[in-house]
């Protein structure tokens, strides 16, 4: 197996989302994705993947120059790349807490402490006429690929801690979330997170309905601390 991975960026920052929001972490962003979310906030790792191959040893050496021992393997879709398995093993051997951020469409056995799954809802599908998808090819592929219940269940079962983070646009998304959760086992309400769509602060109305639903269902409201702290800029 090759010992290099396509990397769009590595950086040291504060985890902004999910159960570990606020924790200083080293981020490894793999370049390439099998989906094309309309609102993707890392298009340089999906719509127009950028970056270059990096060696696993070199990535680990860079991580070790920082004081934190939390690493986030993200993308793009990091599970697309078989080399994520030796990468995760190298971080495990070095004593890191490993979070994997995935859309949940691909399953792999690998070292992981928090499986952070973000199943993609219908609100993510590229719109007709999206100039990035003139023939509608990605619209079709995205819709075919975005939900893989077997893979989601395997990912949930494979890791001692998991979170299911849903990017929501409006209240109509809740019916789709409920329908998907009804097909999955081995999760509890505190594993379910709602996160408002967008890279700008949510409106008061959005905060109100998301808060109301989280309270009613004992789900979590996921912040985006890194946006508050640094703004919507790369490398944070």
Interface residues with ligand SF4 (CB under 6 A)?
33, 35-37, 40, 42, 45-46, 75-77, 103
Contact (Cβ atoms closer than 8 angstroms) between residue 78 and residue 35: no
d(CA 31, CA 80): 10
Handedness of CA 220, 224, 225, 228 (dihedral sign): negative
Is the CB of 126 or the CB of 210 nearer to ligand SF4? 126
Is the CB of 48 or the CB of 186 nearer to ligand SF4? 48
Closest distance to ligand SF4 from the beta carbon of 125 (Å)? 10
d(CA 127, CA 144): 15
Closest distance to ligand SF4 from the beta carbon of 47 (Å)? 7
Is the CB of 13 or the CB of 105 nearer to ligand SF4? 105
Q: How many CB atoms lie within 10 A of CB 183?
A: 10
d(CA 79, CA 68): 24
C-alpha 131: how far from its chain's center?
24
Contact (Cβ atoms closer than 8 angstroms) between residue 90 and residue 60: yes
Is the CB of 61 or the CB of 132 nearer to ligand SF4? 132
Is the CB of 119 or the CB of 156 nearer to ligand SF4? 119
């Amino acid at each position: 197996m090759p010992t290099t991975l396509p990397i769009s960026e590595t950086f040291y920052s504060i985890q902004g989302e999910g159960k570990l929001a606020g924790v200083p972490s080293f981020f490894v962003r793999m370049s390439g994705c099998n989906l094309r979310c309309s609102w993707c906030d890392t298009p340089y790792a999906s719509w127009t993947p950028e970056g270059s191959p990096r060696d696993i040893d070199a990535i680990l050496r860079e991580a070790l120059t920082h004081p934190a021992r939390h690493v986030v393997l993200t993308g793009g879709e990091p599970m697309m790349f078989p080399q994520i398995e030796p990468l995760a093993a190298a971080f495990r051997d070095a004593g890191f807490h490993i979070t994997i951020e995935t859309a949940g469409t691909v399953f792999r056995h690998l070292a992981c402490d928090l499986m952070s799954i973000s199943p993609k809802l219908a609100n993510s599908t590229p719109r007709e006429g999206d100039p990035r998808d003139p023939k509608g090819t990605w619209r079709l592929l995205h819709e075919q690929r975005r939900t893989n219940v077997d893979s989601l269940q395997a990912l949930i079962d494979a890791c001692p801690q998991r979170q299911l983070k849903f990017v929501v646009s409006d209240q109509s998304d809740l019916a789709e979330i409920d329908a998907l959760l009804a097909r999955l086992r081995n999760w509890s309400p505190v594993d379910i997170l709602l996160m408002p769509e967008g890279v700008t602060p949510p409106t008061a109305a959005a905060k109100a309905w998301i808060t109301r639903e989280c309270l009613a269902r004992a789900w979590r409201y996921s912040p985006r601390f890194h946006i508050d702290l640094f703004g919507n800029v790369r490398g944070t």
